[in-house]
Structure formats: C-alpha cells, structure tokens
Amino acid sequence: MAKVVVGMSGGVDSSVAAHLLIEQGHEVIGLFMKNWDEKDPDGRCPADEDFQDVLSVCDRLQMPCYSIEFIDEYREHVFAEFLREYEAGRTPNPDVLCNREIKFDLFLKKAEEFGAEFLATGHYARVAQSPKGPTLLRGRDPNKDQTYFLTAVPRDRFARVLFPIGDIEKSEVRSIARKIGLSTSEKKDSTGICFIGERKFREFLGKYVHTKPGRIIDLDGHEIGEHNGIAFFTLGQRKGLGLGGEGEPWFVVEKNLQRNELVVVRGEEHPALYAKRLIANQVNWLIEAPSAGDQISCTAKTRYRQNDQACVASIGESGQMTVQFNEPQRAMTPGQYVVLYQGDVCIGGGVIHKIEEPQYVRP
C-alpha cells in the first residue's frame, strides 16, 4: 500500500475519497488548501468554515490533517489571469486554471514533501496507468464527470494522481458518507468561482476590473440599450441585458471591445449565435501528442454541461488547433476551453481563441 495525501476541501466528495483510500489500506494524510482570504458579503470566511468540516471528517476517520496556504500563488497565477482575460473581452474558466497551476502543480509538490507517492482528490474522473503513460478517463457518473476541468493539467502529473470516487456515482458517495457518519454527508456542492465561492458576480468583478457603460446595438447597428460594463457579459447571455419590448428575448452575439459595444439578436436560435469552426491555442495533449498536419476524428465540448459534439481536430504548424464541427455550435466563447474526447478518453484541449464559419453573415 502507498502513502497518499488527499486534498481535503471540506466537501463530501473529498471526505469519501479519503475514507475509500483508508479502506484500501493506504496510509492517508489529509491536506487542506486555503487560496483566498477575503470574507464574503455576509462577513463569513468560507475557507475557515470548510477547514472546520475537514477537521471533523479527519477526526471521524482517525487520520492526520494539515492546512497550507497558496493565497499569493493563487492571486498571481490564477486570479490575475482571470482578470486579464475579462479585461480583454474574453470569458475565462478559473477552475481549469486552478487545476493546472495550483491543485496539480504546487499542491502536488507539497504532497511529495510529505513523502506521499500519490495525491488524491475528490474529482469525478479516472486514470488508467500503462507503460505508455497515464490516460485520463471520464468519471462513471455522466452527470458529474469533471474531466473538462482537468484538460490543461500536463499529462505526466496524472501518473501520481488518484481519483478514488471516479468509479462511483454521486448518490453512492452521499450514501457512503451517511453510512459512516461523516459530517459532510448532506453538505451542498460548492459553486461559484474556484476557491472564492458564490458572489454577486458583477459586484465582485467590478471591484477588480475597470468598466464603463456603452451601447447595446442590434446587427444593423441600431442602438437599443446601454450596458454597464462589457466584461460582465458573455456570448449567448440572455439575463441582465435590461432589454424589454415585444418579441423574443435578446441574446449577446458579439463583444466589440474597441467600441465598447454589445451586439445582440432576438431569439435563442438566431443563426448569428452559431458557428461551425474554432481555433484554439495553449493546446495540452493527454495522449501522445499528434504532429502538425494530423487530423483527429473525435467529439468535443466547448462548455462543461454540453453534450459531446462530433468534430475533426486539425493540428497546425504553430501548435494551434482547428476544430471543425459536423453541426453548427451555439455561443462558442473565446477564453473558454474546447475539450476533446474519444469515447471515455479525454485526449486534450485548448483555449478557444477565435470563432470561424459563422452561420449568419451581415449583409
């Protein structure tokens, strides 16, 4: 059996992950990570409350527990990039950044300092080890699979990672937690910004990103309203536009950063919301890296909750990747990630840089 450090978040998933590892006979150490030190609008410090839950679980499981801080590192490597992307008019994914920069880099190194052979987390994912290297697989629970958020982690890191709950469904995780009397058994899943939690997004982002009001226009250039900051909106967004009137709802189809304008259309299925191709950069391969000129038949997601979409990924000379979809895709968004799959295998992904082949061309 191995010495394993478990990343304890204070939630039910990491709690049960630790329990399963102990049952398997491993020497298990709990390690809590604090990456944000500001109180929420209610004056609470969620990180401190989560740590109390961690202490309760570790006491119940009779395992040692420690706490570490990566507050400065999180601000430098994750939050600063998060803000830069919003200021550039894109929509970043801090969960993907946090996994790459913090959980499976700095935190993994900290686990090694404890003499651990493996780092374990409560992610719904699986890893298959082989002489050719690790393979990242979807979690068994299709509604909870989290491989989308792991796509930017360098492949070699997964050789030292365990996902103890990747083979079971969420309902079973909670059932196990109840059965063994864990205090986190009924704790709701965390939501909001990675390690920051639930916030009133515009109010929170407005503290860090300079914004100014601007025009909202339709595809013909007619002004139909005013926005309070282009960074607060993303492609395909409906809520928060403040546009009424008769007819179908309005949706964002373009963010013109230079002119500080939002372009909107009426109707959820308007062709201006759809395109068939994207260009991605910062591509990370979780299989043997293909060569320039290669084409890969696969499926892809351009957002977490999306169903798999058939496509062909083409590898460029510069390392960029073109993804051509069989069917038009709605509201593909620069700054978000496109993640590729072949069956249950997550083969890699990259940051969406540019959208091409729109299904509506202005006259």
Q: In the annotation, is 65 catalytic? A: no
Alpha-helical segments (H) within the chain: 12-23, 46-61, 71-74, 80-87, 94-98, 107-113, 170-179, 201-206
Q: In the annotation, is 194 catalytic? A: yes
DSSP string, 178-206: HHTT-TTTTPPPP-SBTTTB---HHHHHH
Active-site pick, 65, 98, 298, 346? 98
Distance between CA atoms of 15 and 3, rounded to whole angstroms?
A: 17
Fill in the DSSP letter of residue 141.
-
Q: Can you list the positions of beta strands (E) in the chain?
A: 3-8, 27-34, 65-69, 118-120, 125-128, 135-138, 161-162, 214-217, 223-227, 250-256, 261-266, 274-285, 295-301, 309-315, 321-330, 337-342, 345-358
Instruction: Give the phi and the psi of residue 102 in degrees, each rounded to 5.
Output: -115, -65
Distances (CA, A) of 347 to 23, 105, 317: 31, 20, 19
Using CB atoms within 10 A of its CB, is residue 239 exposed (0-12), middle (13-18) or buried (19+)? exposed
**What's the sign of the alpha-carbon dihedral 156, 161, 166, 167?**
positive
Coil, strand or helix at 118: strand
Q: Which residue from 310, 314, 311 is spatially nearest to 291, judged by alpha carbons?
A: 314
Are 153 and 100 contacting, i.e. CB atoms less than 8 angstroms apart? yes
Active-site pick, 45, 58, 65, 194? 194
Instruction: Give the phi and the psi of residue 362 in degrees, each rounded to 5.
Output: -60, 140
Active site residues: 98, 194
